[in-house]
Structure 1
């Protein structure tokens, strides 16, 4: 889908432009919890509790917000199964799967290179 840039001209998107609509998507994907949730869902559909256990340190509120934003952007599907109690599963859409590829590479790079980085003392 082509959108109109602020100048009114049809052009390719420029993430460096202040009003480019792709900035919201970049913000979403550059978020730590989004990147980790997408990575966790690469293994297949998961329930909320499974995701929360996998993403150690995320609060239920932040995970809920993250999953809603990912769903709003078309990155994941939320499927509700009519059972008691309600059974909800999250899975990547094809768009989410395509985003998982570069995010997986970034996570691997971080794990491989963390020992070479300067890490300031806490509180600095």
Structure 2
């Protein structure tokens, strides 16, 4: 498994974001990457680890309590044509509601991942 992690990429009103991902050809491999990420206590204690992947032409996603976040990740992966790859956006809640800005941060996190990994 090769998991790529970009930490502390966005900070807003106390909430902090990271983005990570790696190759996965099925749901089990995607979940294995998520487990690998959560072996780091900081990520295990995160408020949300929302993720999505396009696996064998099918979109798979999990909001992990951040309603709507995984759908945004999935749409961006589909638009980028990135298949058999899982992207995880992690958020540590900082105590203040971000409203619609939380979706902008998810978009920015995925853009960061795609740009940094050359995808």
TM-score when normalising by structure 1: 0.27
Of Structure 1 and Structure 2, the greater strand share is in 2
- Higher alpha-carbon Rg: 1
- TM-score, length basis structure 2: 0.27
RCO higher in 1 or 2 (8 Å CA, sep ≥ 6)?
Answer: 2
Larger helix fraction of residues: 1
